[in-house]
Amino acid sequence: MDAKRVRKIVERWMLPTEKSSYMGGLENAPIIASATGSTVVDTEGREYLDFQSGQMGAALGHRHPKIMAAIERALATMIHATNTMLNVPRLRLHEKLGKLLPPPLAKSLFLVSGSDSVEAAVDMARKATGGTDVIGLHAGLHGSTSYMTRSLSFNWRRSKHSVVAPGTSAILAPYCYRCPLGLKFPDCRIQCLDASLELADANFTGRPAAFLGEPILSAGGVIVPPDGFYKRVEDACEDRGMLLVIDEAQTGLGKTGKLFGFQHEAGVTPDIIAISKHFGGGLPISAVCATAEVAERAVRNGYFATRSHAGDPILCAAGEASLDVVVEEDMAARAHLIERRIKQRMTELAREIELIGDVRGRGVLLGIELVKDRHKKTPANDEAKRIAAHCLEHGLIFQVRGVRELANVLRLVPPMTTADAEVDRALAILEDALRAVAGGAKRKGRTKADARAAE
């Protein structure tokens, strides 16, 4: 399709894309024609390494053969079904997921999008507790349904929403690189949480229902909470009769080097988790999972959630195949190896390139925070944009994210199936871009800030 025709369709038939959103300017980006494994190809035949895994739905690679085979089997039998009757792929998926969930999580309910699963999780927590107020992290993102999940996606400006849901408020995200209290972990004893909870208690309008959080705040700039944060959140929930709801959309099913992101902290036991993104291996299916006790309490109080396509056999078949791939191909171990490879190279580069302020994340959810100078940590938004453009030009795709107004974190989310040679190719492109934008300047001596960034 030539550029003139594209422009005509965009201008005449497409709803305009909001410029400041992360999709802003998509009409100027390459038009994707096909995708296999870690590579996408545009309509001009140019290849790109896809280090954003589609919209994170291709973390098992695009068109994984085992998932394609399951989808083809479903195509030959039944793709859609009523949700007033059970079907075999749906039953098989409940069983397979249930056996994988860390106890006491056991029960699942299927929906379509990540936003659906978070909305269902919040509603379940409210029904189970009889409470209303839900708190989330101020750099969190949980979905784009216009009422509930956008109201809880504090990393997007809530002022952009038409109406904000009542009983939703933010607490401070534990962003240690830019501590909101100016403290340092572990000496800080995670005071951001204590102060936040004191405020939250003052703001609650009734009985609180839940805390909602991501194990790694992905869209908020790949923020990894300090060790012990979630255990403290869990204790705070218990004290207040609230449930701990973990959104595993971006961290679940192997991506962080463990099956679920919350498992990086010993002893944390969420009451409810939400799973989506690569759960369907590229098709849209999500799940809300709970302990039997929470699920039964919520249902006794009238809880239900569904969608016309929730439980469609084709989606459930893809879900079952994706879980098989995660387990049989030990994707968590692969994610961990990719993390080591990328972090090692970025840490080496940080010794030379001042622009690299912080290298963080887990598994295949990694962030490189760019700063104009390491002392003041002035966010390098413009540089991040130029680096992403340079990489795109040279065959590497990723997104730039950050906390609220910041857009200075290069977020790398390669599929877990990415081969070492592909990782190295992506790193070489990124290195060229970093050097080009940073001016290739070699620093003479190492400062303390350099050493910290390189740790």
Ligand X SMILES: Cc1ncc(COP(=O)(O)O)c(C=O)c1O
**143 scored as a contact of ligand X (CB under 6 A):** yes
What is the CB neighbour count within 10 angstroms for residue 161? 14
Q: Choose between 73 and 307: whose C-beta lies nearer to ligand X.
A: 307
Pairing of strands 133-137, 168-171: parallel
Q: Choose between 38 and 250: whose C-beta lies nearer to ligand X.
A: 250
Among 39, 169, 256, 276, binds ligand X (CB under 6 A): 276
**53 scored as a contact of ligand X (CB under 6 A):** no
**214 scored as a contact of ligand X (CB under 6 A):** yes
CB 66 within 8 A of CB 73: no
Among 39, 52, 129, 218, binds ligand X (CB under 6 A): 218
Q: Choose between 214 and 352: whose C-beta lies nearer to ligand X.
A: 214
Pairing of strands 208-213, 133-137: parallel
**59 scored as a contact of ligand X (CB under 6 A):** no
Binding mask 357-396 for ligand X (x = CB under 6 A): ----------------------------------------
Give how far Cα 300 sits from Cα of 75, 132, 260, 304, 374, Å. Answer: 37, 17, 28, 10, 54
In angstroms, the CA 244 to CA 85 distance is: 31
CB 441 within 8 A of CB 419: no
**81 scored as a contact of ligand X (CB under 6 A):** no
Which of these segments, 68-76, 171-179, 243-251, 405-413, binds ligand X (CB under 6 A)? Answer: 243-251
Helices (H), 286-419: 292-300, 313-328, 331-350, 381-393
Task: List the one residue out of 238, 189, 187 whose CA is nearest residue 210.
Answer: 238
Among 133, 247, 271, 354, binds ligand X (CB under 6 A): 247
Binders in 169-188 for ligand X, by CB under 6 A = none
Among 52, 250, 291, 417, binds ligand X (CB under 6 A): 250
Binding mask 87-126 for ligand X (x = CB under 6 A): --------------------------xxx--x--------
Q: Choose between 257 and 261: whose C-beta lies nearer to ligand X.
A: 261
Output the DSSP codes for 214-235. -SSBTTTT-B-PPTTHHHHHHH
Q: Choose between 216 and 294: whose C-beta lies nearer to ligand X.
A: 216
Pairing of strands 272-275, 47-50: unpaired
**54 scored as a contact of ligand X (CB under 6 A):** no
Q: Choose between 289 and 355: whose C-beta lies nearer to ligand X.
A: 289
Residue 450 in tokens: 């350099």
Q: Choose between 249 and 353: whose C-beta lies nearer to ligand X.
A: 249
In the complex, what is the shortest distance from the CB of residue 112 to ligand X, in angstroms, rounded to a whole number?
8
Q: Choose between 218 and 408: whose C-beta lies nearer to ligand X.
A: 218
Cα angle 126-168-97, degrees, rounded to a multiple of 5: 50
Residue 141 in tokens: 């993102």
Residue nearest to ligand X (CB): 114
**142 scored as a contact of ligand X (CB under 6 A):** yes
DSSP letter at 342 equals H
**234 scored as a contact of ligand X (CB under 6 A):** no
**219 scored as a contact of ligand X (CB under 6 A):** yes
Q: Choose between 287 and 371: whose C-beta lies nearer to ligand X.
A: 287
Output the DSSP codes for 25-93. TGGGSPPEEEEEBTEEEETTS-EEEETTHHHHTTTT-BT-HHHHHHHHHHHTT-S---SSS--HHHHHH
What is the CB neighbour count within 10 angstroms for residue 307? 16
In angstroms, the CA 67 to CA 298 distance is: 33
Q: Choose between 87 and 115: whose C-beta lies nearer to ligand X.
A: 115
Q: Which residues bind ligand X (CB under 6 A)?
A: 113-115, 118, 141-144, 214, 218-219, 247, 249-250, 276
